[in-house]
Structure 1
Amino acid sequence: MKAIILAGGQSERFGKPKAFAQINSQMFYKRIIEVLEGTNLFNEIIISTNETLAPQFDYPNIAIDDAENKDKGPMAGIYSVMRQHTDETLFFVISVDTPMITQKAISKLYQFMIEHLIEDQLNIAGFQEKGMPIPTMAFYSPQTLPTIETALDSGDYSLKNVYSKVKSDWLDVHEIDSSNYWYKNINYQQDLEDLHHDIMNS
């Protein structure tokens, strides 16, 4: 099983690449790698990014989007890694701007996926908040690859264009007994300031 850290976005709203932003003096991507390693679930952790950012990562396992799928968002990042590892059984996808993800959350979602995998023939299991799926924090079966390929060709690069067409199920973020910010997405500098504040006051 492999983990894919999606870190190829332009981070325009944030103002600089989010992968290298810091929380508690640790870069987002390094913190996520540490958490993923701590679960002991993955035989490989791969950072999916673009050719501009790739040299800036202090990490050996980097995947760069194919030229034809450049600038097609998270979907292209997932596709690039999946296509290189067609014999893998399962992929965990996590966006680099969710730096407070926990081992507990990943393990619980993995259990959820396994419980539903055979009985429901599940292709994607992820988290949801207030009924809204979070497809950039989810397990993907390699059986989703043809659907991702079709979506990339269609010009609609929304991950909803994938999860709405395969068997998917979602675990509510509040079912994880953890801080109320573990799943928070950092899109703006203000989000990071709020996160620092929440951590200090928790």
Structure 2
Amino acid sequence: MKAIILAGGQSERFGEPKAFATINAQPFYKRIIDVLEATNMFNQIIISTNETLASQFEHDDVVVDDSKNKDKGPLAGIGSVIQRYESEELFFVISVDTPMITQKAISKLYQFMVEHLIEDQLDIAGFKEDGRAIPTIAFYSPHTLTYIQDALASGDYSLRRVYRQVQSDWLDVAAIDSPDYWYKNINYQQDLDSLQQDILNR
């Protein structure tokens, strides 16, 4: 099983590449790698990014989006990695701007997917908040690749298009007994300031 850290966004709202922003003096991407490694679930952790940022990561496994899918968002990143490792049985996808992801959340979601895998033949299992899917914290089967490629070719680069076409199910974030910042995206500098304040107040 492989993990994909999506780190190819432009980070325009944040003002700098979010992958290299720090929490407790550690870059987001390195914190996520540490959490993924600590689960002992993955044989490889891959950073999916763009050609501008690729050389800046201190990590061996970096995949740059196919040139034909440049600037097509997280769908392109997921598709590029699955295509390269299509024989892999399962992929865990996590966005780099979710730096407080926990081992507990990953393990619980994996358990949720396995429980539903045989009966429902799930292709995607992710989290949801208030009924809204969070497809950037999710497990993807290689079966999704065809649908991802179709979406990229269609001009509709939304993850929603893909997860509505395959078998998907979603675990409520409330099932994870942790401070709720574990699944929150950091989109703006003030989001990071708020997160740091929340951590201090715990």
**TM-score of Structure 1 vs Structure 2, range by shorter chain:** over 0.9
Q: What secondary structure sits across from 1:137 in the alignment?
A: strand
* Deviation string, structure 1 residues 53-91 (Cα, Å, up to 9, x no partner): 001001110000010000000000000000000110000
Matched, 1:70 2:70: yes
Distance apart, 1:184 and its partner CA? 0.7
* Deviation string, structure 1 residues 116-155 (Cα, Å, up to 9, x no partner): 0110010000001110000000000100110001000010
Q: What secondary structure sits across from 1:118 in the alignment?
A: helix
Query: For residue 59 of structure 1, what is the aligned residue in structure 2?
Result: 59
Q: Work out the CA distance in 1 between the residues paired with 2:51 and 2:95.
A: 17
Matched, 1:122 2:116: no
Q: Which residues of 2 match residues 9-88 of structure 1 at below 5 A?
A: 9-88=9-88
Q: Which residues of 2 match residues 107-186 of structure 1 at below 5 A?
A: 107-186=107-186
One-letter identity of the residue aligned with 1:181? Y
Mean CA deviation greater in 177-186 or 69-78: 177-186
TM (norm. structure 2) is 0.99
Instruction: Structure 2 unaligned segments of length 5 or more: list them.
Output: none
One-letter identity of the residue aligned with 1:116? H
Distance apart, 1:188 and its partner CA? 0.3
Instruction: Structure 1 unaligned segments of length 5 or more: list them.
Output: none
Distance apart, 1:179 and its partner CA? 1.2
One-letter identity of the residue aligned with 1:135? P
Q: Work out the CA distance in 2 between the residues paired with 1:199 and 1:128.
A: 23
Q: Work out the CA distance in 2 between the residues paired with 1:118 and 1:37.
A: 27
Please identify runs of 4+ aligned residues in structure 1 that moved more than 4 A: none
Size of the alignment, in residue pairs? Answer: 202
Matched, 1:5 2:5: yes
Distance apart, 1:166 and its partner CA? 0.5
Query: For residue 97 of structure 1, what is the aligned residue in structure 2?
Result: 97
Q: Work out the CA distance in 1 between the residues paired with 2:179 and 2:62.
A: 30
Identity of aligned residues (%): 73
One-letter identity of the residue aligned with 1:183? Y
Distance apart, 1:180 and its partner CA? 1.7
Q: Work out the CA distance in 1 between the residues paired with 2:52 and 2:14.
A: 17
